[in-house]
Structure 1
Amino acid sequence: MTIGPTVSGKISLARQMARSALAVDLGDFGPEVVAKAKLCLLDFLSCAFEAGHHPWSRQAVAIAQAGGPATIIGTSQLSSPADAAFANAVMGHGLVREDMHAASITHHGVVIWPTLLALSEQTPLHGARLLAAAIIGYETGARIGRALLTSDLARLYRPTGLVAPPG
C-alpha cells in the first residue's frame, strides 16, 4: 500500500501518523520502555488465560467461527483474525485486572495485544516489530486519552472504547 498525498495534494493527518509509525524501530525506544511492553504482553496473556474458563470467555470463543490463521488463547481453535481478536480481548478483559494507563483512564492492552497477535498470524511479524507496534499503539492511545478525557467524562463513557482503538 502506498501512503501518499490526497487528491488535493495535502497529506492527511492519518497518513502522516502512519508514515511516522512505519518509520519507528524498536531500537528507538529505551530498554525500560521495551521491558514495560513485554510486561504488558505477559500481563495481557496471563489475564486471558486466567479468565478463559469464565462463561463470558467461553461464549466469546463459541461464537468465533472455526477456520482461519489466528489462535484463540488457551485453545486449539483457529479463527479469523477478527474473531480471534474479539475472543482474546474478551478473555483479556474478563477479570478487569489488566494493565491500566491512569492518565488516559484506559486499558489499552485489551485492544492492542489481541489485534496485533491476530494480525501477526495472518502476516508474520518479527517480535521486535510486534513490540514496536504495541508501544506506538499504547503511546498513541494514551496521548489521545490524555487530550480528550477528564474524570467527569470518564464517568459518562468507557474510555477504553473511545481512545484505545485509534492506538
Structure 2
Amino acid sequence: MTSKMTTKVEGNELTLERVFDAPRELVFKAFSEAEHLKRWWGPRGWTLTVCTVDFRPGGVWHYCMKCMDENQGSFYGMESWGKAVYKEIVEAERIAYVDYFSDAEGNEAAGMPSSDIVLLFEEYEGKTKLVNRATYASPEALKAVLDMGMEQGITETWDRLDEHLASVR
C-alpha cells in the first residue's frame, strides 16, 4: 500500500486524499477510461457489470456495481447503480462532475443525496496525490452517505485502485 487515505469533514464538504505510486497521467486514465474503471471501481467483492463512459464535459459515466462475494451476506447479489455527469476536465489535472445514485436507466434516485465532486491529480515526490473534494447539499446529506458506509467503500475502492496501478505500471 502506497499510503493511507486521509479524510476531513467540514460542514457539507468531504475531502479525501491519498498518494499513489504511479504517474499522474496513469492515475488520471484510471478515472477516465472504462477499461481501467472496470478493473478497480467499487469496494472489495463488488464488480462493475455495466460501465459506459462518455468522457467529456456534459458526458455521462453510468455504471452498476454488483456484489459477487457470497461472504457479504445480505449484500450478495445486490446491485448499486451510479451516474456521474462531467462538468470540467483538464487532462491529467482535474475532473469535476456531479455524482448521483441512479437506476438502470440513468434516472437519478429520488431521496438519495448527490454531490459535486472535484478530483485533483497532483505531482507529489514522483508519485500522484489524489484529492477528492465532495460538496453535498447539506451537512445532513453528507452524514447520510457516511452512515451508509461510504468511507469504508472508498477506502477499499482506492486500495483496489492502488493494486490496479501496480499491475499496469
Normalising by structure 2, what TM-score? 0.26
Task: Name which one, 1 or 2, has greater alpha-carbon Rg.
Answer: 1
Normalising by structure 1, what TM-score? 0.26
Higher strand share: 2
Higher helix share: 1
